[in-house]
Structure 1
Amino acid sequence: MKKRPEEYRAGSRTPPPASGVEDDRGAGPDLDDGPTGPGAPTDRPGPSAPTTPGPDRPPVRRGRPRSEAAERAIVEATLRLIEEGIPLSDLSIERIARTAGVGKATIYRRWEGKEALLVDVVRSLDPEDPPLPGTSLRDDLVVLMENIHRRGLAKRSSALLVSVFAQMQSYPRLWEMHHRVSVLPRRLQMDEVLRRGIADGEIRDDLDFDLLGDLFVGPILVRTVLRPEVVWAKDSAEQIVDAVLAGVRPPRWPSS
Protein backbone atom coordinates (compact mmCIF):
# COMPACT_ATOMS: atom_id res chain seq x y z
CA MET A 1 0.00 0.00 0.00
CA LYS A 2 1.39 3.40 -0.95
CA LYS A 3 2.35 5.61 1.99
CA ARG A 4 0.87 9.05 2.38
CA PRO A 5 3.26 12.05 2.78
CA GLU A 6 2.59 12.33 6.51
CA GLU A 7 3.62 8.70 6.99
CA TYR A 8 7.04 9.45 5.60
CA ARG A 9 7.63 12.11 8.22
CA ALA A 10 6.71 9.66 10.97
CA GLY A 11 8.47 6.67 9.44
CA SER A 12 10.83 6.56 6.47
CA ARG A 13 13.45 9.31 6.44
CA THR A 14 13.33 9.84 2.70
CA PRO A 15 10.05 9.94 0.75
CA PRO A 16 9.91 8.39 -2.70
CA PRO A 17 9.99 10.86 -5.57
CA ALA A 18 6.67 12.40 -6.55
CA SER A 19 5.73 12.45 -10.19
CA GLY A 20 7.96 14.88 -12.02
CA VAL A 21 10.37 15.13 -9.08
CA GLU A 22 13.53 13.04 -9.17
CA ASP A 23 14.76 11.17 -6.09
CA ASP A 24 17.46 13.04 -4.18
CA ARG A 25 18.87 10.10 -2.26
CA GLY A 26 22.60 10.29 -2.63
CA ALA A 27 22.33 13.84 -3.98
CA GLY A 28 24.90 15.15 -1.52
CA PRO A 29 25.00 16.28 2.10
CA ASP A 30 21.75 17.44 3.65
CA LEU A 31 21.84 20.51 5.89
CA ASP A 32 19.36 18.84 8.20
CA ASP A 33 21.60 15.82 8.72
CA GLY A 34 24.55 17.82 10.08
CA PRO A 35 28.15 16.67 9.75
CA THR A 36 28.73 13.25 8.29
CA GLY A 37 31.70 10.91 7.95
CA PRO A 38 34.18 9.30 10.37
CA GLY A 39 34.37 10.97 13.74
CA ALA A 40 31.21 13.02 13.17
CA PRO A 41 29.09 13.43 16.30
CA THR A 42 25.94 11.35 16.53
CA ASP A 43 23.05 11.26 18.94
CA ARG A 44 22.37 7.57 18.40
CA PRO A 45 23.96 5.05 20.79
CA GLY A 46 26.25 2.34 19.45
CA PRO A 47 25.67 -1.37 20.04
CA SER A 48 27.16 -1.30 23.53
CA ALA A 49 25.95 2.15 24.57
CA PRO A 50 23.73 2.03 27.67
CA THR A 51 20.18 3.19 27.09
CA THR A 52 19.12 3.53 30.71
CA PRO A 53 20.10 6.83 32.35
CA GLY A 54 22.09 6.55 35.55
CA PRO A 55 22.83 9.08 38.28
CA ASP A 56 25.78 10.53 36.35
CA ARG A 57 24.54 9.85 32.87
CA PRO A 58 21.93 11.96 31.02
CA PRO A 59 19.15 10.19 29.13
CA VAL A 60 20.14 9.07 25.64
CA ARG A 61 18.51 11.18 22.92
CA ARG A 62 16.90 9.13 20.22
CA GLY A 63 16.37 10.49 16.74
CA ARG A 64 17.55 13.93 15.72
CA PRO A 65 16.20 17.34 16.71
CA ARG A 66 14.29 19.45 14.25
CA SER A 67 16.81 21.71 12.53
CA GLU A 68 15.82 25.36 12.68
CA ALA A 69 18.84 26.22 10.55
CA ALA A 70 17.55 24.05 7.73
CA GLU A 71 14.08 25.57 7.89
CA ARG A 72 15.48 29.09 7.93
CA ALA A 73 17.66 28.31 4.92
CA ILE A 74 14.69 26.91 3.00
CA VAL A 75 12.43 29.89 3.74
CA GLU A 76 15.16 32.41 2.90
CA ALA A 77 15.99 30.58 -0.32
CA THR A 78 12.34 30.70 -1.37
CA LEU A 79 12.16 34.42 -0.61
CA ARG A 80 15.35 35.03 -2.55
CA LEU A 81 13.97 33.27 -5.62
CA ILE A 82 10.73 35.27 -5.45
CA GLU A 83 12.68 38.52 -5.04
CA GLU A 84 14.65 37.60 -8.16
CA GLY A 85 11.38 37.59 -10.06
CA ILE A 86 10.81 33.84 -10.31
CA PRO A 87 7.03 33.36 -10.62
CA LEU A 88 5.35 30.96 -8.21
CA SER A 89 4.48 28.67 -11.11
CA ASP A 90 8.19 28.20 -11.88
CA LEU A 91 9.26 27.53 -8.30
CA SER A 92 9.99 23.86 -7.73
CA ILE A 93 11.06 21.94 -4.66
CA GLU A 94 14.21 20.92 -6.52
CA ARG A 95 15.09 24.54 -7.30
CA ILE A 96 14.39 25.69 -3.76
CA ALA A 97 16.45 22.84 -2.31
CA ARG A 98 19.38 23.64 -4.60
CA THR A 99 19.28 27.33 -3.64
CA ALA A 100 19.04 26.50 0.08
CA GLY A 101 21.83 23.94 -0.08
CA VAL A 102 19.69 21.09 1.23
CA GLY A 103 18.26 17.89 -0.20
CA LYS A 104 14.66 17.70 -1.35
CA ALA A 105 14.01 15.16 1.40
CA THR A 106 14.69 17.88 4.00
CA ILE A 107 11.88 19.98 2.53
CA TYR A 108 9.45 17.08 2.24
CA ARG A 109 10.06 16.16 5.89
CA ARG A 110 8.66 19.53 6.89
CA TRP A 111 6.14 20.46 4.21
CA GLU A 112 3.84 18.23 2.21
CA GLY A 113 4.48 20.23 -0.93
CA LYS A 114 5.19 23.60 -2.49
CA GLU A 115 1.87 25.15 -1.47
CA ALA A 116 2.40 24.42 2.24
CA LEU A 117 5.94 25.80 2.04
CA LEU A 118 4.78 29.01 0.33
CA VAL A 119 2.09 29.56 2.97
CA ASP A 120 4.77 29.43 5.69
CA VAL A 121 7.03 31.72 3.65
CA VAL A 122 4.26 34.34 3.41
CA ARG A 123 3.49 33.92 7.09
CA SER A 124 7.15 34.59 7.91
CA LEU A 125 6.71 38.08 6.41
CA ASP A 126 3.67 38.85 8.55
CA PRO A 127 4.39 41.10 11.53
CA GLU A 128 3.87 39.19 14.75
CA ASP A 129 0.74 40.19 16.65
CA PRO A 130 1.24 41.26 20.27
CA PRO A 131 -0.93 39.40 22.80
CA LEU A 132 -4.26 40.85 23.84
CA PRO A 133 -4.19 42.58 27.24
CA GLY A 134 -7.36 40.84 28.44
CA THR A 135 -8.19 43.78 30.71
CA SER A 136 -11.45 44.79 29.03
CA LEU A 137 -13.48 44.38 25.86
CA ARG A 138 -12.44 47.84 24.69
CA ASP A 139 -8.73 47.26 25.33
CA ASP A 140 -8.75 43.96 23.45
CA LEU A 141 -10.58 45.48 20.49
CA VAL A 142 -8.15 48.40 20.29
CA VAL A 143 -5.17 46.02 20.12
CA LEU A 144 -6.96 43.93 17.48
CA MET A 145 -7.59 47.04 15.35
CA GLU A 146 -3.96 48.11 15.63
CA ASN A 147 -2.86 44.62 14.58
CA ILE A 148 -5.09 44.69 11.51
CA HIS A 149 -3.84 48.14 10.52
CA ARG A 150 -0.20 47.13 10.95
CA ARG A 151 -0.63 44.04 8.75
CA GLY A 152 -2.41 46.13 6.13
CA LEU A 153 0.46 48.61 6.02
CA ALA A 154 3.02 45.81 5.74
CA LYS A 155 1.24 44.23 2.79
CA ARG A 156 0.85 47.57 1.03
CA SER A 157 4.44 48.73 1.54
CA SER A 158 6.15 45.43 0.70
CA ALA A 159 6.61 44.96 -3.04
CA LEU A 160 7.37 41.31 -2.34
CA LEU A 161 4.09 40.75 -0.51
CA VAL A 162 2.14 42.62 -3.19
CA SER A 163 3.63 40.34 -5.83
CA VAL A 164 3.06 37.16 -3.84
CA PHE A 165 -0.54 37.96 -2.95
CA ALA A 166 -1.35 38.91 -6.54
CA GLN A 167 0.00 35.54 -7.72
CA MET A 168 -1.55 33.52 -4.88
CA GLN A 169 -5.05 34.48 -5.95
CA SER A 170 -4.49 32.57 -9.19
CA TYR A 171 -3.96 29.37 -7.19
CA PRO A 172 -7.20 28.54 -5.32
CA ARG A 173 -5.62 25.78 -3.20
CA LEU A 174 -2.72 28.00 -2.16
CA TRP A 175 -5.06 30.91 -1.39
CA GLU A 176 -7.33 28.62 0.65
CA MET A 177 -4.36 27.30 2.64
CA HIS A 178 -3.17 30.86 3.35
CA HIS A 179 -6.66 31.84 4.51
CA ARG A 180 -6.91 28.79 6.77
CA VAL A 181 -3.44 29.16 8.29
CA SER A 182 -3.04 32.96 8.58
CA VAL A 183 -6.39 34.73 8.17
CA LEU A 184 -8.91 32.45 9.88
CA PRO A 185 -7.11 32.16 13.26
CA ARG A 186 -7.09 35.96 13.58
CA ARG A 187 -10.75 36.16 12.65
CA LEU A 188 -11.56 33.51 15.25
CA GLN A 189 -9.61 35.49 17.85
CA MET A 190 -11.75 38.54 17.16
CA ASP A 191 -14.92 36.43 17.20
CA GLU A 192 -13.96 35.16 20.64
CA VAL A 193 -13.53 38.71 21.96
CA LEU A 194 -16.89 39.80 20.53
CA ARG A 195 -18.72 36.72 21.86
CA ARG A 196 -17.30 37.43 25.29
CA GLY A 197 -18.59 40.99 25.03
CA ILE A 198 -22.06 39.70 24.14
CA ALA A 199 -22.01 37.17 26.99
CA ASP A 200 -20.98 39.89 29.46
CA GLY A 201 -23.80 42.15 28.29
CA GLU A 202 -21.48 44.78 26.80
CA ILE A 203 -22.72 44.22 23.23
CA ARG A 204 -26.29 43.72 22.04
CA ASP A 205 -27.18 40.13 21.24
CA ASP A 206 -29.67 40.93 18.45
CA LEU A 207 -27.09 41.93 15.83
CA ASP A 208 -25.90 39.82 12.92
CA PHE A 209 -22.61 38.46 14.24
CA ASP A 210 -20.67 38.66 10.97
CA LEU A 211 -21.88 42.23 10.46
CA LEU A 212 -20.72 43.07 13.97
CA GLY A 213 -17.15 42.09 13.12
CA ASP A 214 -17.28 43.96 9.82
CA LEU A 215 -18.29 47.16 11.62
CA PHE A 216 -14.96 47.17 13.42
CA VAL A 217 -12.75 45.98 10.56
CA GLY A 218 -14.42 47.96 7.75
CA PRO A 219 -13.02 51.42 8.62
CA ILE A 220 -9.47 50.03 8.75
CA LEU A 221 -9.78 48.37 5.35
CA VAL A 222 -11.07 51.63 3.90
CA ARG A 223 -8.06 53.51 5.29
CA THR A 224 -5.44 50.97 4.18
CA VAL A 225 -6.90 50.01 0.78
CA LEU A 226 -9.24 52.71 -0.53
CA ARG A 227 -7.86 55.82 1.19
CA PRO A 228 -4.20 55.15 2.01
CA GLU A 229 -3.42 58.86 1.80
CA VAL A 230 -5.39 59.55 5.00
CA VAL A 231 -3.05 59.80 7.99
CA TRP A 232 -3.57 57.11 10.62
CA ALA A 233 -3.55 58.99 13.92
CA LYS A 234 -2.15 57.58 17.13
CA ASP A 235 -5.65 57.19 18.55
CA SER A 236 -7.42 56.11 15.34
CA ALA A 237 -7.94 52.56 16.60
CA GLU A 238 -9.45 53.90 19.83
CA GLN A 239 -11.77 56.23 17.90
CA ILE A 240 -13.02 53.35 15.73
CA VAL A 241 -13.63 51.07 18.71
CA ASP A 242 -15.38 53.77 20.76
CA ALA A 243 -17.60 54.84 17.84
CA VAL A 244 -18.69 51.29 17.03
CA LEU A 245 -19.18 50.30 20.68
CA ALA A 246 -21.39 53.36 21.18
CA GLY A 247 -23.72 51.97 18.52
CA VAL A 248 -23.73 48.32 19.59
CA ARG A 249 -23.99 48.73 23.36
CA PRO A 250 -27.24 47.64 25.01
CA PRO A 251 -29.69 50.58 25.38
CA ARG A 252 -29.22 50.82 29.15
CA TRP A 253 -25.43 50.51 29.15
CA PRO A 254 -23.98 53.26 31.40
CA SER A 255 -22.11 55.95 29.50
CA SER A 256 -18.39 56.17 30.27
Structure 2
Amino acid sequence: MTGSAARRGRPRDAARDRALLDATLAVLGESGYGGLTTAAVAARAGVSTATLYRRWPSKEFLVVDAATAYAQELTASVDTGTLEGDLRALLRDKAASLTGKEGGVLRSLIAEGAHNAPLAEALTNAFVLPVRRRMEEIAQRAVDRGEISPVEHADLLGDLVIGPMMSRFFLTPLPPDEVDAGSAAETADRLLPFLIRAVGGKGSH
Protein backbone atom coordinates (compact mmCIF):
# COMPACT_ATOMS: atom_id res chain seq x y z
CA MET A 1 0.00 0.00 0.00
CA THR A 2 1.38 3.41 -0.94
CA GLY A 3 1.71 6.23 1.54
CA SER A 4 -1.02 8.15 -0.30
CA ALA A 5 -3.40 5.20 -0.16
CA ALA A 6 -2.63 4.67 3.51
CA ARG A 7 -3.54 8.27 4.28
CA ARG A 8 -6.76 8.03 2.32
CA GLY A 9 -7.94 4.90 4.10
CA ARG A 10 -11.39 3.73 3.06
CA PRO A 11 -12.94 5.19 -0.11
CA ARG A 12 -14.99 8.31 0.49
CA ASP A 13 -18.74 7.96 0.64
CA ALA A 14 -20.18 10.11 -2.16
CA ALA A 15 -23.58 10.26 -0.47
CA ARG A 16 -22.00 11.55 2.73
CA ASP A 17 -19.98 14.10 0.80
CA ARG A 18 -23.16 15.33 -0.85
CA ALA A 19 -24.96 15.51 2.48
CA LEU A 20 -22.17 17.68 3.87
CA LEU A 21 -22.21 19.99 0.83
CA ASP A 22 -26.00 20.32 1.03
CA ALA A 23 -25.73 21.03 4.76
CA THR A 24 -23.11 23.69 4.06
CA LEU A 25 -25.44 25.48 1.64
CA ALA A 26 -28.33 25.24 4.12
CA VAL A 27 -26.29 26.75 6.96
CA LEU A 28 -24.93 29.43 4.64
CA GLY A 29 -28.46 30.39 3.67
CA GLU A 30 -29.50 30.67 7.31
CA SER A 31 -26.42 32.15 8.97
CA GLY A 32 -24.21 33.60 6.24
CA TYR A 33 -20.51 32.88 5.88
CA GLY A 34 -19.58 34.58 9.14
CA GLY A 35 -22.09 32.52 11.10
CA LEU A 36 -21.23 29.22 9.47
CA THR A 37 -19.28 26.75 11.62
CA THR A 38 -18.05 23.30 10.76
CA ALA A 39 -19.82 22.02 13.87
CA ALA A 40 -23.16 23.36 12.60
CA VAL A 41 -22.59 21.80 9.18
CA ALA A 42 -21.62 18.44 10.65
CA ALA A 43 -24.67 18.46 12.93
CA ARG A 44 -26.98 19.33 10.01
CA ALA A 45 -25.51 16.47 7.96
CA GLY A 46 -25.68 14.05 10.89
CA VAL A 47 -21.95 13.32 11.02
CA SER A 48 -19.10 14.12 13.38
CA THR A 49 -16.79 17.08 12.85
CA ALA A 50 -13.95 14.55 12.53
CA THR A 51 -15.73 13.10 9.50
CA LEU A 52 -16.00 16.55 7.98
CA TYR A 53 -12.33 17.39 8.59
CA ARG A 54 -11.23 14.13 6.97
CA ARG A 55 -12.77 15.50 3.79
CA TRP A 56 -12.10 19.25 4.06
CA PRO A 57 -9.27 20.75 6.12
CA SER A 58 -11.04 24.05 6.75
CA LYS A 59 -14.31 25.91 6.50
CA GLU A 60 -13.04 27.79 3.46
CA PHE A 61 -12.31 24.64 1.44
CA LEU A 62 -15.71 23.24 2.39
CA VAL A 63 -17.55 26.37 1.29
CA VAL A 64 -15.63 26.57 -2.00
CA ASP A 65 -16.54 22.98 -2.87
CA ALA A 66 -20.17 23.53 -1.87
CA ALA A 67 -20.37 26.66 -4.01
CA THR A 68 -18.79 24.89 -6.97
CA ALA A 69 -21.19 21.93 -6.75
CA TYR A 70 -24.12 24.31 -6.42
CA ALA A 71 -23.05 26.37 -9.42
CA GLN A 72 -22.62 23.32 -11.65
CA GLU A 73 -26.28 22.50 -11.18
CA LEU A 74 -27.32 26.02 -12.19
CA THR A 75 -25.17 26.52 -15.28
CA ALA A 76 -25.81 23.39 -17.33
CA SER A 77 -26.00 24.39 -20.98
CA VAL A 78 -29.33 23.93 -22.78
CA ASP A 79 -29.73 23.78 -26.57
CA THR A 80 -33.33 24.72 -27.37
CA GLY A 81 -32.71 25.02 -31.10
CA THR A 82 -33.15 28.80 -31.27
CA LEU A 83 -31.27 31.85 -30.10
CA GLU A 84 -34.35 33.20 -28.31
CA GLY A 85 -34.96 29.91 -26.51
CA ASP A 86 -31.34 29.55 -25.45
CA LEU A 87 -31.18 33.10 -24.10
CA ARG A 88 -34.48 32.75 -22.27
CA ALA A 89 -33.25 29.57 -20.56
CA LEU A 90 -29.98 31.24 -19.53
CA LEU A 91 -31.67 34.37 -18.17
CA ARG A 92 -34.19 32.34 -16.20
CA ASP A 93 -31.43 30.15 -14.76
CA LYS A 94 -29.51 33.20 -13.59
CA ALA A 95 -32.63 34.86 -12.19
CA ALA A 96 -33.35 31.71 -10.19
CA SER A 97 -29.79 31.58 -8.87
CA LEU A 98 -30.00 35.17 -7.56
CA THR A 99 -33.33 34.89 -5.76
CA GLY A 100 -34.85 32.81 -2.98
CA LYS A 101 -32.62 30.61 -0.86
CA GLU A 102 -30.12 30.35 -3.70
CA GLY A 103 -29.77 34.12 -3.80
CA GLY A 104 -29.18 34.24 -0.06
CA VAL A 105 -26.34 31.77 -0.37
CA LEU A 106 -24.74 33.71 -3.19
CA ARG A 107 -25.07 37.01 -1.31
CA SER A 108 -23.20 35.51 1.64
CA LEU A 109 -20.42 34.23 -0.58
CA ILE A 110 -20.03 37.48 -2.51
CA ALA A 111 -19.89 39.50 0.71
CA GLU A 112 -17.15 37.26 2.10
CA GLY A 113 -15.32 37.15 -1.24
CA ALA A 114 -14.78 40.92 -1.05
CA HIS A 115 -12.01 40.31 1.50
CA ASN A 116 -11.25 36.62 0.92
CA ALA A 117 -9.18 36.21 -2.24
CA PRO A 118 -9.37 32.39 -2.53
CA LEU A 119 -13.15 32.45 -2.16
CA ALA A 120 -13.44 35.33 -4.66
CA GLU A 121 -11.42 33.33 -7.19
CA ALA A 122 -13.59 30.27 -6.57
CA LEU A 123 -16.74 32.34 -7.12
CA THR A 124 -15.38 33.67 -10.40
CA ASN A 125 -14.56 30.14 -11.56
CA ALA A 126 -17.87 28.68 -10.38
CA PHE A 127 -20.37 31.42 -11.22
CA VAL A 128 -18.94 33.94 -13.68
CA LEU A 129 -16.83 31.94 -16.13
CA PRO A 130 -19.54 29.31 -16.80
CA VAL A 131 -22.00 32.05 -17.79
CA ARG A 132 -19.44 33.58 -20.13
CA ARG A 133 -18.73 30.20 -21.72
CA ARG A 134 -22.42 29.45 -22.04
CA MET A 135 -23.06 32.78 -23.79
CA GLU A 136 -20.22 32.13 -26.22
CA GLU A 137 -21.72 28.71 -26.99
CA ILE A 138 -25.18 30.21 -27.48
CA ALA A 139 -23.83 32.85 -29.84
CA GLN A 140 -21.82 30.31 -31.85
CA ARG A 141 -24.84 28.03 -32.24
CA ALA A 142 -26.89 31.01 -33.44
CA VAL A 143 -24.16 31.87 -35.95
CA ASP A 144 -24.06 28.26 -37.16
CA ARG A 145 -27.85 28.29 -37.61
CA GLY A 146 -27.64 31.55 -39.56
CA GLU A 147 -29.67 33.50 -37.00
CA ILE A 148 -26.98 36.12 -36.38
CA SER A 149 -23.67 37.29 -37.81
CA PRO A 150 -20.45 36.38 -35.97
CA VAL A 151 -20.15 38.41 -32.76
CA GLU A 152 -16.97 40.37 -32.11
CA HIS A 153 -15.63 40.02 -28.56
CA ALA A 154 -18.05 37.18 -27.79
CA ASP A 155 -16.18 36.60 -24.52
CA LEU A 156 -17.86 39.75 -23.17
CA LEU A 157 -21.41 38.59 -23.86
CA GLY A 158 -21.75 36.83 -20.52
CA ASP A 159 -21.36 40.16 -18.73
CA LEU A 160 -24.53 41.35 -20.49
CA VAL A 161 -26.33 38.68 -18.47
CA ILE A 162 -24.47 38.96 -15.18
CA GLY A 163 -24.47 42.76 -14.95
CA PRO A 164 -28.21 43.46 -15.34
CA MET A 165 -29.15 40.49 -13.14
CA MET A 166 -26.84 41.56 -10.32
CA SER A 167 -28.06 45.15 -10.61
CA ARG A 168 -31.70 44.11 -10.51
CA PHE A 169 -31.64 41.50 -7.75
CA PHE A 170 -28.66 42.47 -5.57
CA LEU A 171 -28.34 46.24 -5.88
CA THR A 172 -31.97 47.34 -6.26
CA PRO A 173 -34.24 47.28 -3.18
CA LEU A 174 -37.20 45.11 -4.14
CA PRO A 175 -40.35 44.09 -2.26
CA PRO A 176 -40.55 40.39 -1.34
CA ASP A 177 -43.16 39.66 -3.99
CA GLU A 178 -40.70 40.70 -6.70
CA VAL A 179 -37.96 38.27 -5.74
CA ASP A 180 -39.87 34.98 -5.77
CA ALA A 181 -39.40 32.39 -8.52
CA GLY A 182 -42.32 33.58 -10.64
CA SER A 183 -41.32 37.24 -10.55
CA ALA A 184 -37.70 36.35 -11.22
CA ALA A 185 -38.73 34.51 -14.38
CA GLU A 186 -40.83 37.52 -15.46
CA THR A 187 -37.85 39.80 -14.97
CA ALA A 188 -35.70 37.45 -17.05
CA ASP A 189 -38.29 37.53 -19.84
CA ARG A 190 -38.39 41.33 -19.78
CA LEU A 191 -34.63 41.44 -20.24
CA LEU A 192 -34.75 38.92 -23.09
CA PRO A 193 -35.51 41.32 -26.00
CA PHE A 194 -32.63 43.59 -25.00
CA LEU A 195 -30.19 40.68 -24.92
CA ILE A 196 -31.42 39.35 -28.26
CA ARG A 197 -30.81 42.74 -29.87
CA ALA A 198 -27.40 43.02 -28.22
CA VAL A 199 -26.18 39.90 -30.00
CA GLY A 200 -27.73 40.93 -33.32
CA GLY A 201 -30.85 38.78 -33.25
CA LYS A 202 -34.45 39.66 -34.01
CA GLY A 203 -36.54 37.34 -31.84
CA SER A 204 -40.32 37.43 -31.64
CA HIS A 205 -40.62 40.45 -29.32
Q: Give the TM-score category using the shorter length.
A: 0.5 to 0.7
Distance 1:157 1:247 in 2: 26
Other-structure match for 1:225 = 170
- Greater relative CO, 1 or 2 (CA 8 Å, sep 6+): 2
Q: Taking structure 1 as reference, are residues 185 and 112 closer, same or farther at Cα in structure 2, changes over 3 Å only?
A: farther
RMSD between superposed Cα atoms in Å? 4.2
Larger radius of gyration: 1
Distance 1:136 1:157 in 2: 28
Could you tell me which of 47, 50, 59 is aligned with 1:103? 50
Unpaired stretches in structure 1, ≥5 consecutive residues = 16-32, 34-63
Distance 1:81 1:237 in 2: 28
Other-structure match for 2:132 = 187
The answer (yes or no) to whether the contact 2:92–2:185 under 8 Å persists in 1 is no
Q: Taking structure 1 as reference, are residues 189 and 113 closer, same or farther at Cα in structure 2, changes over 3 Å only?
A: farther
Which amino acid in the other structure matches residue 101 of structure 1?
Answer: S
1:183-205 CA-partner distances (Å, limit 9, x unpaired): 32233122211222234442333
Other-structure match for 2:34 = 87
Other-structure match for 2:16 = 70
- TM-superposed CA distance for 1:140, in Å, is 0.8
Which amino acid in the other structure matches residue 110 of structure 2?
Answer: F
The answer on 1:151 being equivalent to 2:97 is: yes
The answer on 1:12 being equivalent to 2:6 is: yes
Distance 1:162 1:78 in 2: 14
Unpaired stretches in structure 2, ≥5 consecutive residues = none
Report the identity percentage.
Answer: 27
Q: Name the structure with the higher helix share.
A: 2
- TM-superposed CA distance for 1:234, in Å, is 5.3
Distance 1:229 1:216 in 2: 19
Other-structure match for 1:53 = none
Which amino acid in the other structure matches residue 227 of structure 1?
Answer: T
Other-structure match for 1:142 = 88
- TM-superposed CA distance for 1:177, in Å, is 2.0
- TM-superposed CA distance for 1:111, in Å, is 4.4
State how 1:1-256 maps to structure 2 within 5 Å: 8=4, 11-14=5-8, 64=11, 66-75=12-21, 78=24, 83=30, 87=34, 99=43, 100-101=47-48, 103=50, 107-108=53-54, 110-111=55-56, 114-123=59-68, 128-129=73-74, 132-154=78-100, 158=104, 161-205=106-150, 207-229=152-174, 231=178, 232=183, 235-249=186-200
Q: Taking structure 1 as reference, are residues 155 and 179 closer, same or farther at Cα in structure 2, changes over 3 Å only?
A: farther
- Report SS of the residue matched to 1:195: helix
Distance 1:210 1:235 in 2: 26
- TM-superposed CA distance for 1:149, in Å, is 0.8
TM-score w.r.t. structure 2 length? 0.65
Distance 1:189 1:237 in 2: 16
The answer (yes or no) to whether the contact 1:127–1:154 under 8 Å persists in 2 is no
1:121-172 CA-partner distances (Å, limit 9, x unpaired): 33466694376243212101100000111111136852x5533432233210
TM-score w.r.t. structure 1 length? 0.55
- Report SS of the residue matched to 2:98: helix
